Structure 1
Amino acid sequence: MKHFFLTWLGTAVALLITSKIVDGFEIKSFVAALVAAVVIGLVNAFIRPILRVLAFPITLLTFGLFTFIINAVTLWLASALTPGSGFEIKGFLPALLGSIVLAIVSSVINYFLRVVE
């Protein structure tokens, strides 16, 4: 359970850092980042697997590069599912850049959280 909360907090911090780096990727507060982390987790758990199965032929043809598009779409969808929460992505390009930056920042934060445990 401790690992779950640390991952949740790490993702929220990564969202805040990503919002400072990527224009058009907005997080208004830490509470909004916590809500966004939950919504992103739910979208990744339920919708992303369906998108990956449907997009498998395209992903295969592009040698996996289409996965970046799937990540951007799921992030953009999570933003669309939380109107007025303080989490907003203004367009596809910020979603694409945000998904890349978020993956890198989350990986670094989660690495340090694992070292602390």
Structure 2
Amino acid sequence: MTTIADDVSTALVRFVIARLDDDDESLRRHTDRLPPKVAERFRADVLAKRQILGTAQRLLILHDMPQQHDVRTQAIEILRSLATSYADHPAFRDEWRMGRKARNRASGE
């Protein structure tokens, strides 16, 4: 059975993966215009975000029992943190914003 949290986490994971793929593509297209140290820092940043994303995904999958709700909640917060840097993207959803107040504003509460 799929829950709302599963739908949110799946959408977040897909969104972040797509944005990191976009970043990789942009870096490939523009590497020749960047100083080598800057290009390397961007590459390292994308790789670090992919590793964090993988950790969050493992937490969501491996901690699937009801008593592990807090672990899943924290994993979703990690995903929201990663997605926030792409908040200006048209596919970004307001409910992904960080913090309860921001999410409540997005949901009209």
Tell me if TM exceeds 0.5: no
TM-score between both structures, scaled by the size of structure 1: 0.33
Q: Which structure carries more relative contact order (alpha carbon 8 Å, separation 6+)?
A: 1
Name the one with the larger strand percent. 1
